[in-house]
Structure 1
Amino acid sequence: MPTVTMSERKKHIIITGASKGFGRDLSVHLAESGTVLHLVARSDMSDQVHELEARGAEVHTWRQDLTLTGELNDFVAGIAATISSQDTAYLGLVNNAGMIDPVGPAGKYDYQDYKKNLEINFVAPLLLAHAFIHHFQAWSPVKRVVMISSGAAGKPYHGWSHYCSTKAGVDMFVRTICIEQEKQRYPVEIMAFNPGRIGTDMQKTIRETSEEDFPMVHDFIAAYKEGKIGDSSEIAGGLARLMMAEFFPFGEVLSKRDL
């Protein structure tokens, strides 16, 4: 049986929320020969696939509703079944999918809307990380998980009770997993990353929120008009380099200022 050299081994990276915004930008910066991108979204990604393949990457698209949390372990198992441990040098997971709605005081809007916020921002990323660890723990390749966080994890905002709480939970999850993994023979390295205010649809949604629901809306509008919104592609490029660097900030919560 022929052996596989390191240069022939592949890097497999799973990205949720990959069809637009920061997730799409990150996929572009990670696309290169030898990389297999597993893009997770509910929308069509045909144009994106062509762009990434032109950069040399192998691309697989996966349609999965992340609110169907009972399906997520089997979903990751399905991806794992397409990957061979013998020709893999790197396994990555980026939990990027997120949502800000509903914005407003707790109890004001429909229960199901709040439930969806919790599922997308907290339950799904934690369960995906759990499934990733479960399926790949015994594998020897480099394994890294990035949880997309927010400055809201450490600061309360009127109208963002669910969003702030979920991001704070994500940060604590990262710190806890670090403690659990640091003595493993083949550890899964994990970090949280706060990209800050960047030019994505989420920021547009925030700027369109009423002052009643989000009193700080004018601060976000002013930041946009004054050009204080970060460039999504530039920040995604910095994260991509960090993901592939020899040193990985295991267990840390970083922001764009740390790139």
Structure 2
Amino acid sequence: MSTSHLILLTGASRGMGRAMAEQLLQPGNVLVCLSRHSVAELSAAAKAHDVSLEQWEADLADPVPVAARVAEWLGQQDAQAFDHATLINNAGTIGDPRPLAAADAASLAQAMRVGLEAPLLLTSAFLRATRDWRAARKVLNISSGLGRNAMGSQASYCAAKAGMDHFSRAVALEEAAAQNGARIVSLAPGVIDTDMQVQLRATDPSLFPDRTRFVNLQAQGLLDSPATAAGKVLAYLARPDFGSNPVADVRDAA
């Protein structure tokens, strides 16, 4: 009997999120992607591979209705239908890199809503809605080294990722004490050549003194492609020890 795996993935329209979505289009998977825009190529690939795919256009800067929709949809599913159920909180934004004293309030608020409030609310909705499912449940939060090592002109991104790390620790304690508790990991995926990197390399160095560091990472070939990074992240998700350390790095030894 084949297994069935439900995966909810945010930020699936570009970068590593899109690469993960492409790699998750495998037989037995049911994939629900939440992004600001749908991707026609993903729909075509899902049809070609005969994989169930839903794409929801959702603005995670307004996370309350998105979490409510996730909870309602999960509540309509058969609690016995899936062997595995996974939420991947991948979406994030670096906002407008600049010192906090020079930052725009609306940009800061958006970065925190997308990067921290949305993952927190979606994790809550997922765990509550799937509590009585027979499925083995996992939550994978895509964090960053900047959640663990501060960088100037990145206060909102550092704060969001540090908050993601710490709420993952708290949820891990809660789920460890629950029947059929979910396993949760906040995972740093390494450095990846995405639109975020392009934005950082293009930032005025007077606003972002560490710009040269990111220019050098690209020049030295030290950035993973989105596809390579996605493969590493999904391999970590599949590790038998997933959840043993709620705050981890994709480069951690097995």
Instruction: Tell me the TM-score normalised to structure 1 length.
Output: 0.92
Tell me the equivalent position of 1:227. 221
Read off the aligned partner of 2:36 and give its amino acid letter: R
Rounded Cα–Cα distance in structure 2 between residues aligned with 1:242 and 1:151: 16
Give the match for residue 4 of structure 2.
10
Unaligned runs of 5+ in 2: none
Query: Percent identity at matched positions?
Result: 28
- Of 242-251 and 137-146, more deviation after overlay is shown by 242-251
Alpha-carbon distance between aligned partners in 2 of 1:75 and 1:39, rounded to the nearest angstrom: 13
- Check the 8 A contact 2:80/2:133 in 1, yes or no: no
| Mapping 1:213-224, distance limit 5 Å | 213-224=207-218
Q: What is the rounded CA distance, in whole Å, between the counterparts of 1:73 and 1:162 in structure 2? A: 22
Q: Determine the C-alpha separation between the residues in 1 that align with 2:230 and 2:76.
A: 26
Q: Secondary structure of the residue that 1:39 maps to in structure 2?
A: strand
In the TM superposition, what are the counterparts of 1:50-65 in structure 2 within 5 Å? 50-65=44-59
Question: Quick check: 64-73 or 29-38, which moved more?
Answer: 64-73
- Extract structure 1 runs of 4+ deviating beyond 6 A: none
Indicate the residue corresponding to 1:206 in structure 2.
200
The secondary structure found in structure 1 opposite 2:206 is coil
Q: Distance in 2 between matches of 1:137 and 1:158?
A: 40
Decide whether aligned partners of structure 1 residues 63 and 78 sit closer, same or farther in structure 2, where only a CA change above 3 A counts.
farther
1:236 to 225, 230, 235: 230
State the secondary structure of the residue aligned to 2:242. Answer: coil
Asked if 1:78 corresponds to 2:81, the answer is no
**Cα gap change, 1:11 to 1:78, in 2 (>3 Å):** same
1:242–1:154 CA distance, 2 compared to 1 (3 A): closer
The answer to whether the 8 Å contact 1:34/1:56 transfers is: no
* Superposed CA offset, 1:206-246 (max 9, x none): 11111111101011101101111122212211222232343
User: In the TM superposition, what are the counterparts of 1:98-247 in structure 2 within 5 Å?
Assistant: 98-247=92-241
Deviation at 1:43, TM superposition (A): 1.0
State the alpha-carbon separation in 2 of the partners of residues 87 and 246 from structure 1: 22
Moved more, 45-54 or 29-38: 45-54
Tell whether the 8 Å contact from 1:177 to 1:251 is kept in structure 2 after alignment: no
Tell me the SS of whatever aligns to 2:100: coil
Residue 251 of structure 1, CA deviation? 4.2
User: For 2:60, which of 66, 87, 98 is the aligned residue?
Assistant: 66
Whether contact under 8 Å (2:82, 2:134) holds in the other structure is: no
Among residues 34, 37, 40, which one is paired with 1:46 in the alignment? 40
**Residue type of the alignment partner of 1:258:** D
SS of residue paired to 1:87 = coil
Report the TM-score, using the length of structure 2 for normalisation: 0.94
Quote the offset at 1:9 in angstroms.
Answer: 4.3
Runs of 5+ in structure 1 lacking a partner?
Answer: 1-6
Q: Size of the alignment, in residue pairs?
A: 253
Aligned partner of 1:248 in structure 2 is: 242
Deviations 1:67-117 (A, max 9, x none): 112213311123314532222111110000000012111131321111001
Q: What root-mean-square deviation, in Å, do the aligned CA atoms of Structure 1 and Structure 2 show?
A: 1.5
Q: CA, structure 1 residues 109+247, in 2 after alignment: closer, same or farther (shift >3 Å)?
A: closer
* Aligned equivalent of 1:4: none
